[in-house]
Structure 1
Amino acid sequence: MTITARIGSTRPRITLITVCWNAEKTIASTLDSVDAQTFRDFEHLIIDGGSTDATLSIVATAGNRTVFSGPDKGIYDAMNKGIARASGDIVGFLNADDMFANDSALETIATALENEEFDCCYGDLIYVSQQDPTRQVRYWKSSTFAIGAFRRGWCPPHPTFYVRRSIYKKYGSFDQRYSLAADVELMMRFLERARITSLYIPKVLVRMRLGGATNKSFSNIRRQNTEILQALATHGLKVSALGFWAPKLLNRLQQFVRKKQEN
């Protein structure tokens, strides 16, 4: 799939939000990947949870960021603070364990959302080793959204999910009742319930280090999936155990055996 800019069109301005807390070991690579972007019409908000290590010093030396630091009630509270402060047409997240896959990722996103037919876009994601971010561990290849997909355990990789700020204003931000699955619930609410229009970009947009809150233990994975099933019930999306778990487990297995394709 090739995405090209339309003649005479104006690409939207992007708000990029980085949520962090005591991220001195990884945030420099996140900032470097942002600084390398060829698309420059964006603001970069740093929402820090009150770091006590060198995180804020590293951010300060990088410059050209708007920084908010103080206590929060967790990652989704911090993300909501970022959304509330956003001024761009499009909002996306690149957290302190994440890096853009290449220097044209934001260019690709901005070009895709020039077309006002689409409310959001998303792409593919690669999980990399915490110690060696050049080493691929999993390749999350997504697909075009179809109604009912969340009932089959599907969702886009949230770090690649960019949505118009007007959608947040209309349908709300992260529901903090979900401690590990608020991102899945939000995308479910937008795509399945609100039926916003979406564009799948078959390119790797983000490289994400393993070791996040959800994936760091089996108990957290179980809790997240319990929350996802609760969200499905809340939104009236009936699901069977086999219909949810079988395709989800197959997809996860494929992530470990699939190799990155050149874009």
Structure 2
Amino acid sequence: MSIAERTSAAKRELESATAHFEEVRHAHRMGAGGNIAEAVGNLDILYRAIDEANQSISEYGKQVDAELVDANGALNRASSSAKKKLQEARSKADDCAAAQDKVERVVIQRLIDADPSVIAVNSACKRLTSARLSAVTYEALSAAYDAMARAVAAGGYDLIRKELDAMPGAPNQSMEAIRERNLRSLLEISSSDLREGGRMGPILCQNLRAILANDVRAARTILERHVSDFPDTSVQRAVSGVCRRIIDNAERQ
């Protein structure tokens, strides 16, 4: 196969890989990925409500205590407004606490459900990245092929290799740095779009399913080893919370 034929084949593969990636990524975002985004969004709303309620409890509690001191301990003379707001904040905190475990478990279930979809996105991403690299490489080779062939024929092969090794992204640099540079320079889609939040993997998914079934050993394993595997801080908080409640309930029995 000539260099022109290899260049054409690389361009066709790039077109196919691009279309496949866009299709898979769209399916993920409209399906499992969208469900994760919605579930985590609802989790964030709940956490904000919890944090606000706890802050209000602290503030109004201090206000009630201060007014009680000012009233020389007379409960009936302390501000009814502050006490009412304190009661409302406590009621809101109780409502949030009642929903917290359920909402956190929904997020965990959505992570499990999305794993096959994330695998498909990552696979399509890998193919697209490879196709982009092949296309740009063969395009460059095609443009300079005749000149390089003359240089090699004249005995300049070692000099060409030396100059190639001095280029940014040459093999003496890390493969991760090369991939990231190629993604930034060749792809219109950002690397964060490509990774789509990361993959759980079979072992972590197994442990997540186990904690949904209130398995104490799985809860301890995740809490000790895997919380940092989740890139989103709200998801880390959710997984940690479910695991701690499972362990606490087991220890109380």
Q: Flag the structure with larger Rg.
A: 2
Please give the TM-score of this superposition, normalised by the length of structure 2. 0.22
Judging by fraction of residues, say which structure has more strand: 1
Judging by fraction of residues, say which structure has more helix: 2
Please give the TM-score of this superposition, normalised by the length of structure 1. 0.22
Q: Which structure has more RCO (C-alpha within 8 Å, separation ≥ 6)? A: 2
